[in-house]
Structure 1
Amino acid sequence: MSSLRTYDQKRNFKETAEPKGGKRKSGGKEHIFVIQRHHASRLHYDFRLEVDGVLKSWAVPKGPSMNPSDKRLAMQVEDHPYDYKDFEGVIPEGNYGAGFVYVWDKGSYELLHGDGASFDKEAGKEIREGNLKIRLKGRKVKGEFALVRMKNSDDNAWLLLKHKDDYAVKGTYDSENYTPQRIKDRGVKEKEKMKTGTKKKAAPAKEKAKTATRAKTKRELFTPMMATLVDAPFNRDGWLFETKWDGYRAIADVSKGKVELYSRNHLSFNKDYAPVVTALEKLKHNAVLDGEIVILKKDGTSDFQALQNYKNDASGNLVYVVFDMLELDGQDLTAMPLIQRKELLKEVIKQLKSKTVVYSDHVLDTSDKLYNEAKQKGWEGIIAKEAESLYAEGKRTLSWLKIKIIGEQEAIICGYTEPKGSRKKIGSLVLGVYDDKKNLRYVGNCGGGLDGTLINELYEKMQPLIQKSSPFDEKVRTNTPVTWVKPTLVCQVKFSSWTSDKHLRQPVFLGLRKDKPATEVQKETPKSAKMATKKAATTAPAKAGREDESTVALNGKKVPLTNQNKLYWPDEKITKGELVDYYITMADYVLPYLKDRPLSLHRFPNGIKDAGFYQKDMDTASAPDWLKTVSLHAASASRDVDYLVCNNAATLVYMANLGCIEMNPWLSRVKKLDNPDYIVLDLDPENIAFKYVVETALAIKSLLDQLGVTAFCKTSGASGIHIYVPTGGKYNYETCRLFAEYVAKQVQQELPQTTSVIRTKSKRNKKVYIDYMQNSRGQTVASPYSVRPKPGATVSAPLQWDELTDDLAISNFTIYNMADRLKEIGDLWKDIDKTKNDLRKAISKIEDLAQADVE
């Protein structure tokens, strides 16, 4: 009986575009594997290995993992034909496996213990014995794996296991994190169609086959990866530097000589820039390219204003400058390092021999020469990219950075003023941007750069958008009357600087940005280049020549230091002395969050590899007499204990010398022990990707914004995020805990698949635990700037809300870069105790919202 007969019997090939099962691959030296993401009734991944001319197949519900500690269930299914390796598209409703299929990864594989004789016989034998060991050579999954049949279960139940090797990872691995967003969206869209679609009269078989083929060949639109603005150029090994082209970002999808050229928000450029399309039609490969459409001047610089005028005057040198490639001849390149993608791209563009489509070259490691050239020639700036970075489709990351020389900003046209003097129709444009709360903010007027022809075009575009009222909530003062327009047109301006009231100084109009929706336009604030490119310290050497025993004078007190060369972080070679140095350096920033608060000491006298212990009760008889303590009843000890209070650097360093790696203060102060200064929500992920912690934090912020409550956030320094709501000590713990519980449960209802408020660990697996129970007397939370007893010597770092992105990582904040971060951006929480939140008003809003729901 043919091994493909079951496959054929399950499918109606008059309806599905899947390949028929009659054809086997003839024997060859290299054997392939393919992993297909299958968004069927339940999302799963199909793992397929070529054996004896067919694809042996397993359905893996959670997808493969690169973490050896994960044991992925794999259910063996019927063999699939060899040609199935290339299948992508929609399996129509009513057919076996109906849903959307995407080739997630593919490559070749080897047997770990093959004898070099008959590959297929050996592989077949290992599969029959239920113990197949292989080495995968893919883009996303690499290295040694094992497929092991489970004992005492059905014959088709297996485990897919990753071996410990150079490719293995230690952290959480979720296949979905390596799936483009457009593919996820398409899968959901196709399933929704099937759920909501009404049954129609059956079409003829030939027509169904045509429909299936169209579904198979239909292309998804790509969304480009974006760069983060930083404040200065830099040199760094492992980075490459490119020209920042001043034009329209464009994706080119070339397939069998047909070209789709479109913007980052998926507007077609085919008609507007037909010469580029014509040039790309001659490409000898199927490819997806990423680049910039520009007008190049004779000196090689790009002219954005000339590009704006290209429709009226096509005499400019129109060029598509290509700097990345996402696919080549059906191969997904997004999981390939950038430097390798560019090597392939260079060869592909070279073969085209076109002056209209050109390759964007780069320099490695050092940006000085390129940056100076950019300044001399008046370029907009340069781009820095990690040479080993993967392509993060549709995301703005810290792997790609932009350094601007000329200040430019996208802005939304919100109106225009009456003209004066000889100018007609438009005096100046009234501009705005959205803030992080999605409120439209006025950023000034722009009259520079507007000439007669341009004014006429802008005027005509704005007439259908005229509205009576201002789109701003704030009152905008102008010297002449304003005609307000619907805020949909986006323009590009250059300017000298931002004023203190956040207005553009001397803006000059450059052109309209039809490639970006108005809703995405925000003030672009550069991040620190140092911080953006700094890696976590993992092998920092201990300071040479340090005395093991010494004394330091602080606040007029002498603090004895002992065992300063003891390794507290053995893997990173970080000593106890370096921990003490950190707290001496950071004392001015750490102390405000400890002052006048009882402390629980979490001590690690032998470093992080040994179990630490908590100490609440200070031995006042042996402790220095200058230490401040407060005697309080401890419920856990059923007696009064002497809690330490840390109000100065001497006490802070004394604690560090005791082995207190982290600082754990109460939420309330000694004078008002029953009234906490903050409400805390502790977001703790349990075997789930960190991006879901970020998603939860942003959902909490959104709810608090709705309630008129200001909150602050920080990394926990361990695995999650802490959100603090300042209360001014006006409410007792019970009130604060009830408010926290309301917020936690509201957000959990909003994100039921990824969050939990259940304390039992086993019941919140693969979810983010929203812990509101910390809001009780005597509970402690690691303070801002506290070091944590975790690998890398991570620190609990205050954050700006806009730092909560998919790129955020706990490991980015350590004892080695925290001081530099503070120099760059200051103490982000310095105003937390000045922030006034009125819980009574917030609770009133909650009641109003509840009443509205009832009505």
Structure 2
Amino acid sequence: MSLEKYNKKRDFKQTSEPKSNKQRAKDNRLIFVIQRHHASHLHYDFRLELDGVLKSWAVPKGPSLNPKDKRLAMMVEDHPFDYKDFEGEIPKGNYGAGTVYIFDKGEYQSLGKNRADDEATLRKGLKDGNLKFKLKGEKLKGEFALVKIKNSEDNSWLLIKHDDEFATNRKFEIEKLIPNEIIKAGEDFKKETKSETSPQKNTKTIPQFSPMLAKLVKQPFNNEEWLFERKFDGYRILVYINNSNSVKLESRNGKDYSEKYPAILQDFKKIKEQVVLDTEIVVLNKQGQDDFQLLQDYNPSSKKDIRCFVFDILYLNGHEVVDLPLLKRKSLLEKLLNQYSFDRTYLTGYDVDKGEDCFQIAKENKWEGIIAKKIDSEYLPGRRSDSWLKIKTIQNQEAIIIGYTTPLKSRQYFGALVLAINKNNKLEYIGNCGSGFDEKMLKKLYNLMSTYKTDKKPITEKVHREKDVQWIEPEIICEIHFTEWTKGGNVRHPVFKGLREDKSPKDVEKEMPIDTEETLEGKKKVGGKTISLSNLNKLYWPKERISKGQLIDYYEQFADLILPYTLDKPMSLNRFPNGIEKPGFYQKNVERDQLPNWIKTVEIYSESAEKNINYLVCNNAASLIFLANLGCIELNPWLSSYKKPEFPEYIVIDIDPDGNSFDKITQVALVVKDILDRIGVSCYVKTSGSTGLHIYIYTAQKYDYDFCKQFAEFIATKAHEALPEFTSVNRRTDARKGKIYIDFLQNRRGQTIAAPYSVRPKPGATVSFPVSWDELDQIKISDFNIFSVPHLLKNRVDPWSDLRKHKQDLEKALKVFAKLRS
């Protein structure tokens, strides 16, 4: 870094911070300085002289002499060499406003043997993200390391003390080494600043959030880049606080639980800020363990031990903080909560690196499990990310109650619950659960289920004791414990745990753990093939905060729907490795030796290039995910297969709005459909995912490209003749003059079009989505995106399901048209 960024952030007419960077006499000595900076948030600035400037890191908790402490250090802009002597105040209204105190300074060196090579050794360590050095200060002495966190895109490092003669195994509290007058000066400055700015701080409307979700993995692990928390067994609650004037407790499915838990509500009314917190509410039994049944039965008049554990902060005084690294959010949360005294609200503790120990404690104390979180992770509202993982001590599963059996022997009300989950857009039976109920719960459940009785069986599978089953509407969700999944897909030895009023039926799916090691190493196993993944947290849609990992998750989830349209098709790769806001590039020719051996490629001669092109072919889910990992946000297959490259499987008519309204595009599409209907040709429509519509005709590779292009041109021309005032078939934009373009030229060898269900590199992460003709006038392009599509597909009948069932006789269709004209 140069000093340009440093100078740009400061007004040297107002601050006494040094601007110049005086050159000192060249020798082999290098200096370091650690400055306590009591700004908006207290932190320590750790600075090392290198290449004539001070390389700088902000350390929220300050350095430590205990090797077990791994301190987050955020690398910031270079500071001038003269900054080593700076102490005092940075005036209010300036960047970094607050008090600065020199905690320690002295000389430092690399761990190399030759002092003449110090700068070269340190420079290499900085570049490699593994900077090791020895401090010779008054307070800090001995060997340290600054280690860059892998895959970090926000300059997150860890500052770690080496275990040497200067290290300590006791708790190191740096603030106890600071003079009282320095601490008071910083606090007084902050109070004055807060009082001056408080009238303007809380004027914005608080946005709505959805909780971030974790992926289930198999084994616990140790890793210095992760922290580990207790997994609570309660209700996940987002707390919205508006300066103590109003407080709302909201569940995952949007229910208001404020009146249900008044004791918790009163705690949060003490907070005089605008803030959104992520929490979990639990009730403890007499053994001090989370008890989900007690939580369900809780009422405000009871004396049950209800508690709220706070573990994240999403919003503070007009600012979303979801994009801050996790440890920064933790520090912010701790400072906020420490200002207040609560009766039933607690800050959730955590350990860095010690996941296996934490999991052992979880088992001993009968916790539900632990949560692992990457220390530099951002908060991704409503998203399930590889940055948050959960490891359970016991298997559990949410399920939809679809019926109940009659009771046997002395039991009253019902015998067992009939359970199902969502799978492939329908309900799938997973077994009956007949244990875990007391008399009170049997009665409560029976009365609840009686209001949903139906004669309609909601599943197709055979059910145990089916002749004794009373079916109910699939609206009630419960949670069960069980020992394992059977080969037939049922739960073995299920035990009822409780009702899940905070969840929605559409979200209930089978949850299977994934391999921990593969997840940490960025590997995914799909169909027996292992794919190495990279930069999963990179934001491909920065404004929407949608990551590369979420794109990959989407393609993995819907591979079965997409692959029929890419099978045996040569692919043109449109790659966006740095997201949609950075330039992408097209790639057709792929290098065989740079691909996994299970990726299929085919050589096809290109007349325009006058050479063979080696195309990638996407025939399985692993290949689909491999493409997404390359940065292929969208999928662009040929219309023909490599086996019959001259004979397309489809004819496509692309309706390009060129600025016209969606209503007009729909009108054009319906005219095209009417023409095809009159000549007996079935056609199907999908959104382009950009601005237009695509109309597909299935040809079963019966006709060559020349015939298909001519047929498409004929239909496009007839549609244009019906709507000449606002359509055109002229490819030249200057000739169209803002008219809707009915494009038939996609029907040529080598041309590609976005596949059905393909994501597009457009704002909002829109998806090219097959729709029915009946709903065409009720939709808009933005209705279909990477997050809405999974919900839309859960109970949707595929409008393209019979696309390949009817081969089109296009020659006969043209004869029909000739008869109609005559």
Tell me the TM-score normalised to structure 1 length: 0.44
TM-score with structure 2 length normalisation? 0.46
